[in-house]
Every structure is written in C-alpha cells, then in structure tokens.
Amino acid sequence: MSERRKLVAGNWKMNGGLAANQALVQALRAGVGQPACDVAVCPPPVYLAQLQQLLAGQAAIALGAQDVSEHEGGAFTGDVSAAMLRDFGVRYAIVGHSERRQYQGETDLQVATKARRALAAGITPIVCVGETLREREEGLTEFIVQRQLSAVIHLNGHCISEIVVAYEPVWAIGTGKTATPTEAQAVHAVLRTQLGAATEQADRVRILYGGSMNAANAAELLAQPDIDGGLIGGAALKAPDFLTIVGAAA
Ligand code: PGA
C-alpha cells in the first residue's frame, strides 16, 4: 500500500459563470464532508477571486488554476503569473494540458518552465502528459510521455518530488473513451520508474489519471497501484458525479 493521499481535481476548462459557479460550489461544499482524499477545483482565471470567497472557511476543497505564465512578470499581455495566483489562495496549477499544447502550441520547455514558476511560488504544478491516438497506434506512448516528463524533471531537478503528474491520453479526453485500468496503470508505472531515476522520493509523487474519468469508472481506475487520483473534466461540472469520484478515491 502506498502512503500517497489521493487527489481528485476538477478541471472546469472554459465553462461556468458567476451563478453556475456559485451553485456548483454550494453543492460541492454541502456534499463533500471530510473527504479521505485531497480535492481541488480549477475554474477559469477570472473566477478565482469568486471561488476563493466561495471556498472560504473550509479546508476540504482547495483552489487550483488551469494554467500559469512561464514568465515571472512584466510585459506579457494576457498572462497570469504564479505570484498573482498565489494572491488568491491558489494551491495547484495545471500545466501542459493537452488542449494548451495543441491550441496554444505550448512546448515541453514552456511546460517545464511553468512548473518551475509554480513551484517557486509555493503552488503545486499538476503536470499533464499524454499521447495522441496516432502516437498510441504507432507504439509511441512511452516515448511521448517520457519526453514530456523528462523536460520537467530536467528543469526542476531537486524539486521534482513536489510536483503532481497527470497522465491524460489525448484520445480519452472529452471523448467518453477511457483508458482501461490496465492500460492506464502500465503508463503510470512507466512514469513512476522515470521519476525514480530522478528522485529517491518517487513513491511520494502523485500520478493522476485523466480522460473521461466519471462516476461509473472511477473506482476501478483509482484501485490501480500507481493511480493516485484523477483530473476530471466533464464530470467535474456535475456535483453528484464529482462527489462520487471523490468518494471512490477514499
Ligand atoms: P474529461 O477531461 O474528463 O472531460 O475527459 C479531462 C481533462 O481534460 O483534464
């Protein structure tokens, strides 16, 4: 048995609004109780201040961001720095989500730099890695995720045990197609071994699974020895589903 406390993080993506956020957080607060795992919600950045207020006075649900700038500050229009996130009580920042790699052209080096900025501000980066369907079919899964993680390890050296990794096969995101528990576990084990070559504390690093994880399939995925939680997209927008996943991580 690992001593890793599981983490279930909701990635709201570009969804929500003032009223919807309030209703969702109210339902989550009412239902979460004292969870046996860490829980976080990651709203769009303009709502971080609202969520900070909605989450005040409780410790069960932490606040996360969906991205962080690779720059420390200055003339970077539209960017949000790690220090700014910290001002709003942000504890986690997703970096290198496949949607940002794909639509914003983020490189492995940029993702690694973002992870470093987050760590320097005391924010835990949730570093996403994952292969496309084509890469999987070409037998490149291990090569791709190792390349993506290796950039982060290279730049963050001695801090690497402080990160969270999320394995998110691109073909499983938002598609309703989930990696089987066996498929996911195999990749998680590869990532754990890679971390083990970089730190003696690889056993401490949480490796989340993401990609169509939902209320029905969460328990089986979370039962795998190297699956330490979930990064949840669609199912994070429905309080009962998200809470079921939190319960499954107990
Ligand atoms: P999904 O998204 O759960 O909707 O597949 C997961 C993610 O992109 O983090």
Across all residues in the chain, what is the average pLDDT? 97
Residues 48, 19 contacting (CB under 8 angstroms): no
| Contact criterion met (CB below 8 Å) for 16 and 43 | yes
Judge contact between 225 and 185, C-beta under 8 A: yes
At 200, the amino acid letter reads E
Residue 24 has pLDDT above 60, yes or no: yes
* Domain segments of the chain as ranges: 7-249
Query: 7-249 architecture in CATH?
Result: Alpha-Beta Barrel (3.20)
What number is the average pLDDT over the span 108-137?
A: 97
Q: Which of 70, 99, 162, 168 is catalytic?
A: 168
Is residue 109 over pLDDT 90?
Answer: yes
pLDDT at 1 over 60: no
233 lines ligand 1 (CB under 6 A): yes
Is 214:245 a contact under the CB 8 Å cutoff? yes
**Interval 45-98: pLDDT, tens:** 999 999 999 999 999 999 999 999 999 999 999 999 999 999 999 999 999 999
The response to whether residue 102 sits with its C-beta less than 6 Å from ligand 1 reads no
Q: Which of 70, 97, 135, 188 is catalytic?
A: 97
Residue 215 has pLDDT above 50, yes or no: yes
Tell me whether residue 97 is one of the annotated catalytic residues. Answer: yes
